[in-house]
Amino acid sequence: MGTSITPVRDVPGSPLAWRSSGSPDAPPAVFIHGLGGNSFSWEPQLGALGDVRQCLACDLPGYGKSAGLPGTLPELASLIADWIGGLGRGPADVAGLSFGGMVAQHLALDHPGAVRTLALLDTSPAFGFDGVTTPEEWLATRVSPSPAAVPPDTDRVIAGLVGPDCPAAVRDDAAAVMREVPPATLAASCRALVGHDTRDRLHQVGAPTLVMVGAADTETPETYARAIAERIPGARLVIVPGAGHLLNVEAPGAVNDELRRLWLSAPSELHGTEVPA
């Protein structure tokens, strides 16, 4: 996905493996992928932003080269917080897409000291935010009770997620990554996702926050992004014309520019702080 300018390398680890670019002496930026992704989903960011950050894109449990299965969103947030703490370089600039954006919300709320800045891309403040979708109906379309079930048509799924102008190569790369997600991992992630709801807590986020959404995103549309931005004090909302749900690979230039702006405009001494309810 995208052409790397900064060299990218795989880093084995337990319980998280990750991909890294940039100097290990630079401030860390952590990227959390979506439901059908892995660390490779952030290749356009790792390739382009390693000049200003050590970019670290993790494989969540069960994805890519990380063992195990995803737990609840707070459990995943705790895992990420421990990983950031283990880097030993203070809080990280955190970016999350879709499911990863939900994990990032819990990270900023439950472990504010781990988060220097927060970027939430194509994500939601709560499952069922449309007021129509129920957990049972949604899970029935994504989690099969039969291990012999036919796997989803990933090409069709990706085509329904991206904007109409998304290049074929980007669609193909995203579908290839999605095909690598084991069914048990996808099922565990889906069950974790339906419990998501941070609406009553988002006002507690103290980190400078960027909220981005593709104007053509039908999975977590603009109304979702606005609801997040309105609840987080001082959050900046950016809507990208023509892009769909996989914003960071559909419009990497816009995403990278906004991430640089967020990271470089925040005070260098900024640390995550607890904000009272």
Cβ(20)–Cβ(61) under 8 Å? no
Q: Is 90 left (phi over 0), alpha (psi -120 to 50) or beta?
A: left
pLDDT given for residue 142 in this prediction = 79
Mean pLDDT for 30-48 is 97
pLDDT given for residue 275 in this prediction = 31
**Residue 239 clears pLDDT 90, i.e. is over it:** yes
pLDDT given for residue 2 in this prediction = 46
Instruction: Indicate the fold that domain 8-265 takes in CATH.
Output: Rossmann fold (3.40.50)
Mean pLDDT for 212-221 is 97
pLDDT given for residue 7 in this prediction = 84
pLDDT given for residue 147 in this prediction = 53
**Residue 3 clears pLDDT 70, i.e. is over it:** no
Cβ(125)–Cβ(198) under 8 Å? yes
Query: What is the C-alpha separation between 219 and 174, in angstroms, rounded?
Result: 16
| Stated pTM of the model | 0.93
Among 61, 50, 52, 64, CA closest to 10: 64
pLDDT given for residue 12 in this prediction = 87
Mean pLDDT for 13-41 is 95
User: How many Å from the N-terminal Cα to the C-terminal Cα in the chain?
Assistant: 40
Query: What is the C-alpha separation between 120 and 212, in angstroms, rounded?
Result: 6
Domain ranges of the chain: 8-265
Mean pLDDT for 12-41 is 95
**Residue 223 clears pLDDT 90, i.e. is over it:** yes
**Residue 63 clears pLDDT 90, i.e. is over it:** yes
Residue with tokens 């200003």: 52
Mean model confidence pLDDT for the chain: 92
**Residue 44 clears pLDDT 90, i.e. is over it:** yes
Helix 183-193 vs helix 73-87: angle between axes, to the nearest 10 degrees?
A: 100
The per-residue pLDDT for range 179-192, each reduced to its tens digit, is 999 999 999 999 99
